[in-house]
Every structure is written in structure tokens, then in C-alpha cells.
Amino acid sequence: MDNLKEKVTTVAELLNNSIYPVVLTGAGVSTESGVPDFRSPESGFWAVVNPELFTIDGFKANPGAFYEAGLPLFRLIEQAQPNSAHKALAWLEEQGLVKALITQNVDGLHQAAGSKQVLEIHGTLKSAGCHYCGQSSPATEVLADIEEGLIPPLCLECGEPLKPDVVLFGEPLAPAYHQALREAEKADLILVIGSSMQVSPANKLPAFCENLVIINRTPTFYDSQARVVINEGIGITMEMFLEELK
């Protein structure tokens, strides 16, 4: 614990001395809210669901199977609440200590916690849209249709299947990724929190910055380049971080 305190103190000093700090978050930030990550061998989403269903070709071929497989995750995200890490990051932004928050997550919990400058580079599960006529619907309405047995949920305008506003495998990147690139290029400090950095092209973003902090339970590709690496629980680490700054 003493070693963790020393590292947290160092990170606080780095943040206070930075001009343009940026945060990059992954699924590990939301696991304490009950949202599973995707790649853990036993508990990850891909351990129980066929990833082929979550390609754009898989969705187009069988949107019903996509929704049936994804329903447990959609329910979890709809019920999830921000945890201490989400709230800590919102506070840091409010204090001007975070200029932009780039996230790989699709659960909307950063916004629910109060963060404003959020770049969702993999899109969001909080809404769904029709690729044919452009109609958009909030996730609450889509989930209600699914719970009533309408699988897949259909566009009220044209009757075509609605697709969640997430980036599926095989789709172009979300427009937010290009803005995230610009933020990473401006950053003089990047805090990577809760991401294993295995997914491309998100894992290229830290390469734009010489000053890195990694807060993740498991090792990442960037650990050897980071100024500080913390492999502890994200919630308790962020709580200690706030105590240090306050």
C-alpha cells in the first residue's frame, strides 16, 4: 500500500505540472459498475458470446441473433451506475486537470458521472439508428421493444432493423477517433486507465505522448515506456488520487 501511495503522489505531481493532460479509458473503468470487459478469459463478453455476431456483416445477415446474444449486456449497461473512477474523472475535468477524456467504452457512464469532453471512439450503446433512413432512437426505447419480443427492433419510419450506435468489427471508425488523434497529439501527459491496450487503433494513441501513466490491473504493451505503472484496483487508486489532489 505504501508503494501505491508513492505512485499516486507521483501521478498527482505529473498531472499538476502538465499543461494539456488527456485521459484514455477502457473497459476496466466500468467493471466495478457491473459492466463486464470483453477480453477476460472467463468473465469477458467474448468468452460467452460469438464475436462473429458483432461484425457488421454478422449484424446485416442476422440482426435478430445479434440482439439475442447482446441482450444481457444491453440490460447491464442500462442498469449500470457510475462508480468512483467515473466520478473522479468528472471531478478532474471540472477542476481543469483533464482537457479531454477519450474512451473505448460504449456504456455512457462517463457522461452520467458528469464528464463533458468525452470522445467515444467506439460509439455508444445509449442509442440506435437506422442505416437506411437515419432515424435515431434512445436505448431505453429499443430495449423496451426487445423486452416485448420485437427482435430485432425496427425503425418506426421505414421498418428496417435498428443498429446500436457502436462501431462493429468491419465498420469505419467513429468520427470521434479523428478528434481523439488530435487530442493525443496535443497532450503532454496521457493517463491510460482500465485498458489493456490490445485493440487497434486505440492502442496507437499513447504513442503520440512521451509522458504516460498506466493504471490497469494487468500489464500492457506500454508499461515499459510509462513514467508510472499501477496494477491495482482502479476504484481505490482513483479515490486515493483524489485525496492526494484535494
62 lies in the same domain as 143: yes
Asked if the peptide bond before residue 152 counts as cis, ω within 30 degrees of 0, the response is yes
Average pLDDT over residues 33-56: 74
245 lies in the same domain as 189: yes
User: If DSSP codes are grouped into helix, strand and coil, which group holds residue 104?
Assistant: coil
Tell me the CATH number at 60: 3.30.1600.10
Q: Specify which residues 166 forms β-bridges with.
A: 123
Question: What percent of the chain has a predicted confidence (pLDDT) above 70?
Answer: 95
Tell me the CATH number at 96: 3.40.50.1220
223 lies in the same domain as 136: no
The phi, psi pair for 213, rounded to 5°, reads: -125, 130
214 lies in the same domain as 242: yes
Average pLDDT over residues 17-27: 96
153 lies in the same domain as 232: no
99 lies in the same domain as 200: yes
- Judged against a pLDDT cut of 60, whether residue 74 lies above it is answered with yes
- Judged against a pLDDT cut of 90, whether residue 37 lies above it is answered with no
Q: What total of structural domains would you count in the chain?
A: 2
- 42 or 216: whose pLDDT is higher? 216
Q: Write out the residue range of the structural domain in which residue 232 sits.
A: 1-34+82-122+173-246
Catalytic residue numbers, as ranges: 122
Q: Is 36 within 8 Å of 73 (Cβ atoms)?
A: yes
57 lies in the same domain as 153: yes
221 lies in the same domain as 177: yes
115 lies in the same domain as 181: yes
- Select from 166, 192, 220 the last residue of a domain: 166
- Select from 145, 166, 187 the last residue of a domain: 166
Q: Are strands 163-166 and 123-129 parallel, antiparallel or unpaired?
A: antiparallel
- For residue 11, the model assigns a pLDDT of 95
Q: Can you give the pTM of this predicted structure?
A: 0.92
Over residues 197-246, the pLDDT tens digits come to: 988 899 999 998 999 999 999 999 999 999 999 999 999 999 999 999 88
- For residue 46, the model assigns a pLDDT of 55
188 lies in the same domain as 204: yes
68 lies in the same domain as 114: no
Q: Please name the helix (run of DSSP H) or strand (run of DSSP E) that holds residue 118, with its range, or none.
A: strand 118-120
- Judged against a pLDDT cut of 60, whether residue 1 lies above it is answered with no
- Select from 166, 197, 228 the last residue of a domain: 166
Over residues 133-191, the pLDDT tens digits come to: 888 899 899 999 988 999 999 998 888 999 999 999 999 888 899 999 999 999 999 99
- For residue 73, the model assigns a pLDDT of 87
68 lies in the same domain as 110: no
CA 90 from centroid of its chain's CA atoms: 14
- For residue 40, the model assigns a pLDDT of 61
